[in-house]
């Protein structure tokens, strides 16, 4: 079976500090089986100048105002021509060899491919984000054991769920992943790494994020949560803080 095409989507707004690092991590591994899409939300810093330097290596570029990160992500995946889609944040990056490892795994035609995630703090120190390698673990854990940038998923599955809901400002990626994981899908694991940078957490974002994660988890795991409400509330506090620091 032949390897399938990948579409990488980077959404950015005023990301001059790290966007070049993200771009280079993709184009250094790019071949005819990798499509790169950048969606800019109308940046006012030097982001557009940086992107311009690499325009010949970027397959699709959109720059216009949007309704938030998930609106921009929806624009990106809807333009993708690859069978698999992944979302690389503008301040994160792939380590060398990741895309080739993922491409090799597409030979098995899974619905989803998951890579390792390294979390990098402001001092450059890295720590492995918790991971599981069996599908049963993905489905049974109330806490989502991976972040969306480490996931390569078939475009047809994203389309089936109408992409990312705009009802959420912070946690729509969690909502989509839980929808997908509640189905009977095939998942393959790749021993390769994406690096995600930590950001700060404002009180406003924490409160909004906690509410969104709570609503999503109650929607997806209503019976389990009612039986374990104390555990879930403590879990949400921990996971919300951790996820928002990563997703900014």
User: Taking the model in full, what pTM does it have?
Assistant: 0.85
CATH number of the domain residue 134 falls in: 3.90.550.10
Q: Which range of residues forms the domain containing residue 108?
A: 6-198
Residue 140 scores a pLDDT above 50: no
Give the per-residue pLDDT at 33: 97
Torsion, CA 133, CA 135, CA 137, CA 140, rounded to 10: 160
201 closest CA partner among 245, 147, 235, 246: 245
Beta carbons of 120 and 16 less than 8 angstroms apart: no
Q: Which band of pLDDT confidence, cut at 50, 70 and 90, is reported for residue 234? A: low
* Domain-located, residue 211: no
Give the per-residue pLDDT at 131: 61
* Domain-located, residue 83: yes
Query: What's the Cα-to-Cα distance from 135 to each of 124, 158, 182, 206, rounded to whole Å?
Result: 31, 19, 11, 30
Give the per-residue pLDDT at 34: 98
Query: Taking the chain, what is the end-to-end CA distance rounded to the nearest angstrom?
Result: 39
Of residues 241 and 33, more confidence is placed in 33
Q: How far is CA 159 from the centre of its chain?
A: 16
* Domain-located, residue 104: yes
Give the per-residue pLDDT at 96: 98
pLDDT tens-digit readout, 38-59: 999 999 999 999 999 999 999 9
- Tokens 């994160």 label which residue? 92
Give the per-residue pLDDT at 137: 54
Query: What total of structural domains would you count in the chain?
Result: 1
CA angle 140, 158, 86 (to 5 degrees): 85
Residue 36 scores a pLDDT above 90: yes
Torsion, CA 169, CA 171, CA 173, CA 175, rounded to 10: -120
Which residues touch 183 (CB under 8 Å, ≥6 apart)?
none
Which residues touch 184 (CB under 8 Å, ≥6 apart)?
none
pLDDT tens-digit readout, 85-113: 999 999 999 999 999 999 999 999 999 99
Residue 241 scores a pLDDT above 70: no
Residue 116 scores a pLDDT above 50: yes
CA angle 144, 38, 191 (to 5 degrees): 40
* Percent of the chain's residues with pLDDT above 70: 77
Cα-atom radius of gyration of the chain, to the nearest Å?
Answer: 17
Of residues 178 and 144, more confidence is placed in 178
* Domain-located, residue 219: no
In 3-state terms, what secondary structure has residue 176? helix
Spatial separation of the C-alpha atoms in residues 120 and 198, rounded to whole Å: 6
Residue 236 scores a pLDDT above 90: no
């Amino acid at each position: 079976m032949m390897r399938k095409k990948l579409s990488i989507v980077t959404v950015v707004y005023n990301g001059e500090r790290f966007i070049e690092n993200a771009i280079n991590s993709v184009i250094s591994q790019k071949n005819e089986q990798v499509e790169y899409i950048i969606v800019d939300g109308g940046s006012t810093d030097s982001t557009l100048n940086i992107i311009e330097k690499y325009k010949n290596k970027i397959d699709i570029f959109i720059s216009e105002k949007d309704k938030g990160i998930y609106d921009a992500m929806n624009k990106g995946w809807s333009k993708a021509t690859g069978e698999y889609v992944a979302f690389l944040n503008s301040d994160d990056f792939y380590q060398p060899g990741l895309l080739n490892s993922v491409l090799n795994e597409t030979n098995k035609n899974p619905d989803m491919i998951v890579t390792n995630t390294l979390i990098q703090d402001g001092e450059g120190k890295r720590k492995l984000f918790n991971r599981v390698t069996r599908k049963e673990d993905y489905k049974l854990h109330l806490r989502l054991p991976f972040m969306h940038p480490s996931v390569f998923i078939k475009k047809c599955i994203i389309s089936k769920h109408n992409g990312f809901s705009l009802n959420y400002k912070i946690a729509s990626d969690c909502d989509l992943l839980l929808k997908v994981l509640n189905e009977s899908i095939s998942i393959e694991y790749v021993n390769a790494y994406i690096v995600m940078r930590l950001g700060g957490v404002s009180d406003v974002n924490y409160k909004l994020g906690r509410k969104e994660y709570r609503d999503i988890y109650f929607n997806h795991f209503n019976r389990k949560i009612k039986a374990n409400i104390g555990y879930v509330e403590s879990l949400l506090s921990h996971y919300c803080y951790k996820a928002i620091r990563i997703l900014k």
